[in-house]
Amino acid sequence: MNHQQLAELLAGIAKAQNAVLDAVDRAQPGFKATHLTSVLNVAANIRTPDPRLIDLPSRILMRYQGRAAIDTAAIVADLDRLLAE
pLDDT digit string (tens) for 27-43? 999 999 999 999 999 99
Residue-wise over 20-50: b if at least 16 C-beta within 10 A, else e? ebeeebeeeeebbeeebeeebeeebeeeeee
At 68 the pLDDT is 79
Residue 85: per-residue pLDDT: 60
How does pLDDT run across 40-80, given as a tens digit for each residue?
999 999 888 888 999 999 999 999 988 777 899 999 999 99
- In Å, the largest CA–CA distance within the chain is 45
**How many domains are there within the chain?**
1
Distance from first CA to last CA of the chain, Å, rounded?
Answer: 16
DSSP 2: -
Domain membership of residue 75 as a residue range: 3-82
pLDDT the model gives residue 22: 95
Percent of the chain with pLDDT over 70: 99
User: Rounded to 10 degrees, what is the CA torsion of 39, 44, 45, 51?
Assistant: 180
